[in-house]
């Protein structure tokens, strides 16, 4: 299967294409290459070497059979349904999309309809589900080495002030970092409902971007566990941490901050921190291509549940549909 990366922004060029090129250089055999890449902006992906640029989806279809191509759709959720329709019309059926799966219920319904009509195999970028740290946390939860799980607390902070002011693809802060953690808490603690949801504005001296400053989400799981997910997109430092409280102790984990360093950290009661390699995106891509090859569609339900909870959170926080405008401050 040959990759086709559609959209060469930070995600497409800096994460997807870069991971594929690293894997190719290392001799991994889970795809054939070089990857194809499409972005109508001439400046997009500048300096990205090792990919074959194409001018259109039709052009890509002439170079690689859509039936044996994996599309990495690295565009915002608000533009996803139309592009999926174009891809399906050309015969593409294996599609990897950026999180979240959809931005609202209407988009989710249209995406579901396209999936059924064209037999699409859709996977969502959720590399924390393939993370070694997540696996360690799941083992602790399932084997109850510290007793039953009581609560989960995620902190996802990052300085995103410039991007937040110009971002027209994410309707709110709920769509930026929260989906990563949401999939993990559903994997660890099971189905949930929204207990509380809040969203903050992004404010600087010169601009106000409604709803893009940060988000807080509290869930009540059917298992009795409570999860709190907090994301501050105006924070001066970056953090991706999780704290699990069990009946007999707490554990603290730190996911890798970015693609620049693939190490995670896990601290158990009475032990020094364990620091280990955790290239979750590479592991996720290998797992995803394996599912594409075998036709196994085992992850769609959890991503569907993530969108349902995000929609419920936005409704609870009284967030309108569509992208909020940037307002200049005088």
Predicted confidence (pLDDT) per residue in 246-255, tens digit: 999 999 999 9
The reply to whether 66 and 92 lie within a common domain is yes
Give the three-state DSSP class for 124: strand
The reply to whether 86 and 234 lie within a common domain is no
The reply to whether 213 and 323 lie within a common domain is yes
The reply to whether 15 and 37 lie within a common domain is yes
Which one of 89, 124, 159 terminates a domain? Answer: 124
CATH number assigned to the domain comprising residue 275: 3.30.360.10
Residue with structure tokens 């594929």?
20
Query: Higher-confidence residue: 120 or 77?
Result: 120
Read off the pLDDT of each residue in 279-289 and give the average, rounded to a whole number.
Answer: 90
- Interval 164-216: pLDDT, tens: 777 666 789 999 999 999 999 999 999 999 999 999 999 999 889 999 999 99
Q: Taking 60 as the threshold, does the pLDDT of residue 322 lie above it?
A: no
Residue 286 in domain: no
The reply to whether 153 and 252 lie within a common domain is yes
- Interval 21-74: pLDDT, tens: 988 877 776 888 799 999 999 888 888 899 999 999 999 999 999 999 999 999
The reply to whether 117 and 154 lie within a common domain is no
Q: Taking 80 as the threshold, does the pLDDT of residue 324 lie above it?
A: no
What is residue 26's predicted lDDT score, i.e. its pLDDT? 72
Which one of 73, 103, 124 terminates a domain? Answer: 124
The reply to whether 135 and 223 lie within a common domain is yes
Residue 30 in domain: yes
CB 306 within 8 A of CB 216: no
Q: How far apart are CA 258 and CA 182, in angstroms?
A: 18
Residue with structure tokens 């967030």?
319
Residue 46 in domain: yes
Residue 75 in domain: yes
Residue 288 in domain: no
| 50-72 as b/e: b if 16+ CB within 10 A | ebeebeebeebbeebebeebbbb
- Interval 211-229: pLDDT, tens: 999 999 999 999 999 999 9
CB 240 within 8 A of CB 254: yes
- Interval 81-105: pLDDT, tens: 999 999 999 999 999 998 889 888 9
Model-level pTM? 0.89
The reply to whether 65 and 38 lie within a common domain is yes
Structural domain containing residue 55 = 2-124
The reply to whether 92 and 177 lie within a common domain is no
The reply to whether 45 and 114 lie within a common domain is yes
Which one of 124, 152, 179 terminates a domain? Answer: 124
Pick from 85, 49, 61, 89: nearest CA to 4: 61
**Sign of torsion over alpha carbons 124, 24, 286, 93:** positive
CATH number assigned to the domain comprising residue 12: 3.40.50.720
Into how many domains does the chain fold? 2
The reply to whether 173 and 229 lie within a common domain is yes
The reply to whether 44 and 77 lie within a common domain is yes
Q: What backbone torsions phi and psi does residue 120 show, to the nearest 5 degrees?
A: -75, 140
């Amino acid at each position: 299967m040959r990759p086709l990366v559609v959209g060469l922004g930070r995600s497409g060029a800096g994460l997807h294409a870069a991971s594929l090129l690293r894997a190719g250089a290392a001799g991994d055999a889970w795809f054939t290459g070089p990857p194809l890449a499409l972005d109508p902006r001439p400046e997009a992906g500048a300096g990205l070497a090792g990919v074959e640029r194409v001018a259109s989806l039709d052009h890509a279809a002439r170079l690689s059979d859509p039936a044996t191509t994996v599309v990495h759709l690295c565009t915002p959720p608000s533009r996803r349904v139309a592009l999926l329709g174009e891809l399906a019309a050309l015969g593409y059926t294996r599609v990897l999309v950026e999180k979240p799966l959809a931005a609202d219920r209407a988009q989710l319904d249209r995406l579901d309809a396209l999936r059924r009509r064209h037999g699409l195999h859709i996977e969502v970028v959720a590399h924390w589900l393939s993370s070694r740290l997540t696996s360690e946390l799941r083992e602790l939860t399932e084997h109850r080495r510290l007793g039953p799980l009581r609560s989960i607390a995620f902190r996802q902070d990052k300085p995103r002030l410039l991007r937040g002011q110009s971002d027209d693809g994410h309707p709110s802060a709920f769509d930026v970092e929260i989906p990563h953690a949401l999939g993990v808490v559903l994997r660890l603690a099971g189905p949930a409902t929204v207990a509380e949801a809040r969203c903050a504005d992004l404010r600087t001296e010169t601009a106000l971007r409604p709803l893009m400053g940060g988000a807080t989400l509290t869930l009540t799981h059917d298992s009795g566990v409570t999860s709190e997910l907090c994301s501050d997109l105006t924070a001066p430092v970056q953090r991706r941490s999780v704290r699990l409280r069990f009946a007999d102790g707490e554990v603290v984990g730190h996911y890798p901050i970015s693609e620049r360093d693939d190490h995670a950290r896990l601290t158990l009661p009475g032990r020094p921190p364990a620091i280990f390699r955790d290239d979750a995106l590479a592991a996720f891509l290998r797992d995803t291509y394996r599912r594409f090859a075998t036709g196994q569609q085992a992850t769609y339900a959890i991503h569907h549940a993530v969108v349902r909870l995000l929609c419920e959170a936005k409704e609870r926080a009284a967030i309108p549909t569509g992208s909020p405008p940037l307002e200049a401050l005088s």
